[in-house]
Amino acid sequence: MEAFVEILKYTFPAALMLLLTYLLLSNFVDNEEKRRAFYLRKDLQKKSLPLRMQAFERIIMLLERVTPNHLVIRVKPGSMTIGQYRKALVEAVRQEFDYNITQQVYVSDEAWNHVVSAKSQVISIINKVAGTLGADATAADLAKELINAEMAAEIFPTKAAILLIKHEAARSF
């Protein structure tokens, strides 16, 4: 029994020191890994922040360009029929959206869904307003009614999406 106690006198402190050393080294390695990850994230954020801000700007520009009051200025009615003008407006919205579709990489899914929804609602409003006008209406009448529909809305879908994008951009800082 004395031999067992003698062995225990030497092995217990050694095992305790081994455990303590393991815990200290484990804690050190974990902290070092967290520090490396932090600096990596910080460096990545420094490089990606300008790209994200550009994406926010482009998405807001997309939303502004498909808002009816800006859209009818860019796509002039000219001598088009109401059907041709409706088609030209819808095509302009789709082209604008397709041109900026890659910006979704830089924003949250929620924000991008609002952008897609705003685009769809603008197209829906164009079609609805065009459908309510009589057969004798001109393309200029459609342009005028679209602007009136935008003004009548408390908050137009594109404006709501712009507000969401602005809030998300502010959270990026």
More confident residue, 172 or 107: 107
pLDDT in tens, 117-155: 999 999 999 999 999 987 788 888 899 999 998 888 888
Residue 172, pLDDT > 80, answer no
Tell me whether residue 113 is in a domain.
yes
Tell me whether residue 41 is in a domain.
no
Angle made by CA atoms 99, 104, 109, in degrees to the nearest 5? 145
The alpha carbon of residue 26 and the mean position of all alpha carbons in its chain are separated, in whole angstroms, by: 39
Tell me whether residue 94 is in a domain.
yes
Tell me whether residue 61 is in a domain.
yes
Q: Which of 120, 123, 103, 121 is nearest to 165 (CA)?
A: 103
Tell me whether residue 6 is in a domain.
no
pLDDT in tens, 32-53: 999 998 888 888 778 878 888 9
Whether the pTM exceeds 0.85: the reply is no
Q: How many domains does the chain have?
A: 1
Domain region containing 99:
49-171
Residue 15, pLDDT > 80, answer yes
Tell me whether residue 66 is in a domain.
yes
Tell me whether residue 39 is in a domain.
no
Tell me whether residue 31 is in a domain.
no
Residue 152 CA to residue 126 CA, distance in Å, equals 14
Residue 18, pLDDT > 80, answer yes
